[in-house]
Chains A and B, each alone.
Chain A
């Protein structure tokens, strides 16, 4: 009962204080809204990038080894068995010359080429699914050194390109984290400052509370709630704006940004909403917690 009255007091005081310093409060909400939007866009881009990388990773974790036309079938099967026994390999598919030619001709872009070619120029292939991206290099070496592989073009593996992609994605992830860290610090400082103003406006009340023996956290509580309110309000605004803009943006730019598979993903939107609310509340709580610890002492 006492706790309930404390809570009521804190909520009521926080609400009043929020509106008493309406100018500062609104400025803080707007700033944090912008920050959360930035964070949201960061998350959205990160999500899109992760999608690209995922599809790319599954593609590059398959290497196809071209089989020389002179290699006897028995040798190919031996090698296939050897690969399948390798713990790093998830599976091996043998594609015959005919199947490969069919696949090749199925692509409309190759139709002209096929029309001018006689016989079957494409080699048979062993398609190896490697479990881990980091093992692709080793398996590629196995394929290249295999006697039965095509001499001129033994595998389709582009090691350099993959290494660069992996590096780029690592850098982008790091940049994303760095941006997030900066945004967190900035918003915590903004909330701290609103709390400082609120404390200043209520210094008389705080002094009296001290005088009559209110506990330290009783005095601090309303300010922490005010901070959380600021954060949650900003999160709702940011979410509203992001939701309003996300779909039209995707529709408008899908064609221009063809290299990123932009798509509207409702499941991601709901996790984004959760993240924003949690983030807003946490930022508000953190800023005001640090603020009251600095500015409200008994």
Chain B
């Protein structure tokens, strides 16, 4: 098994430099985060509830700005990015969340197509790219169904297909399997592995211990707003043991 050398053969996609995040109510959600993700990496963010994983994700897509420090994505500092550049940035990043964020009044096809419709793409372009994305997530037979007619796993596939229509080089997921049973979670995880194998960098916050242990990918442990561990081929429980020892 080949382990990617820690510092860094490929191009750096994400870099956090002394990043702090304090919310207006005074909570320090992130404290001096330093993190570097090379192109093609697959990173699990793990840690107890309230550790700051979602905060990190929100900073990464510039839903929030860091209080201190710098975040670079593809060499661009997010804090300095102009507001009108933001949409273009988000088109290059695939986002997947625990709650799917599908629009209930739209069918599977419409939900995926929506990501292209808001860009004013033509019907031919939309149909072609939606079909390809739905193919990737093996949902071709459910085009006309509404989200409420689908299982959780299928809904998450739709959300992933929507994230894929822009052919992103970076996928960011916040507990994508949080609402799913283990078997379905495993299927969704296979999908992310496939996307990663096709060349996209994946950053995923998760509580799913079995999967993290099984995959032996890079594991970044966040606790109390700080990176306490960063293993190239880590396991969930090692991480927790480490933190238990420290305590």
> A6-B120, A209-B118 given as contacts; is B103 within 8 A of A215 (CB)?
no
B2 at the interface (CB under 8 A from A): no
Judge if B24 is at the interface, Cβ distance under 8 Å: no
**Minimum CB–CB distance for B162 against chain A, Å:** 7
Q: Is the C-beta of A117 less than 8 angstroms from some C-beta in chain B?
A: no
Taking a contact as CB atoms under 8 Å apart, the answer to whether B86 and A298 are in contact is yes
A204 within 8 A of B: yes
A6 proximity list for chain B (CB < 8 A): 120
Residues of B within 8 A of A210 (CB): 90
B120–A213 CB distance below 8 A: no
Q: Are the CB atoms of B87 and A215 closer together than 8 Å?
A: yes
CB distance from B129 to the nearest CB of A (A): 12
Q: Which of A2, A204, A207, A212 contacts B120 (CB 8 A)?
A: A2
Does B245 belong to the interface (CB within 8 Å)? no
Question: Which residues on B sit within 8 Å (CB–CB) of A3?
Answer: 120
B119 interface neighbour in A204, A211, A214, A298, Cβ under 8 Å? A214
A212 touches B88 (CB 8 A): no
Shortest CB-to-CB span from B84 to chain A, Å, is: 7
Q: Are B84 and A212 in contact (CB under 8 A)?
A: no
Give the secondary structure class of A's interface: helix
B residues 85-140 touching A (CB-CB < 8 Å): 86-91, 95, 101-104, 114-115, 117-122
User: Which of the four size classes fits the interface of chain A?
Assistant: 20 to 34
Q: Which residues of chain B come closer than 8 Å to A5, judged between CB atoms?
A: 117, 120-122
Tell me how far the C-beta of B3 lies from the nearest C-beta in chain A, rounded to whole angstroms.
34
Given A3-B120, A6-B120, A9-B117 in contact, is the A211-B84 Cβ separation under 8 Å?
A: no
CB of B83 within 8 A of chain A? yes
Q: Which residue of A lies closest to B86 (CB)?
A: A298
B90 engages A205 (CB within 8 Å): no
Given B87, B103, B122, which contacts A208 in the complex, CB threshold below 8 Å?
B103
- Tell me whether A213 and B101 are in contact in the complex, defined as CB-CB below 8 angstroms, given that A1-B122, A5-B120 are known contacts: no
Complexed CA–CA distance, A205 and B118 (Å): 11
Q: In angstroms, how far is the closest chain B Cβ from the Cβ of A4?
A: 8
Residues in chain A near residue B103, CB distance under 8 A:
204-205, 208
Contact with A along B198-228 (1 / 0, CB 8 A): 0000000000000000000000000000000
For B101, what are the chain A residues with a Cβ–Cβ distance below 8 Å? 204, 207-208, 211
Per the 8 Å Cβ criterion, residues 1-54 of A in contact with B are 1-3, 5-6, 9
Query: With a CB–CB cut-off of 8 A, which chain B residues contact A205?
Result: 103
Q: Which residues of A contact B89 (CB under 8 A)?
A: 213
| Residues of the A chain whose Cβ atoms lie less than 8 Å from the Cβ of B115 | 212-213
| CB<8 Å pairs between A and B, sample of 8 | A2-B121, A5-B117, A212-B162, A213-B87, A213-B115, A213-B166, A214-B118, A218-B118
Which B positions have Cβ atoms within 8 angstroms of A?
83-84, 86-91, 95, 101-104, 114-115, 117-122, 162, 166
3 closest Cβ pairs, A-B complex: A213-B91, A212-B115, A214-B118
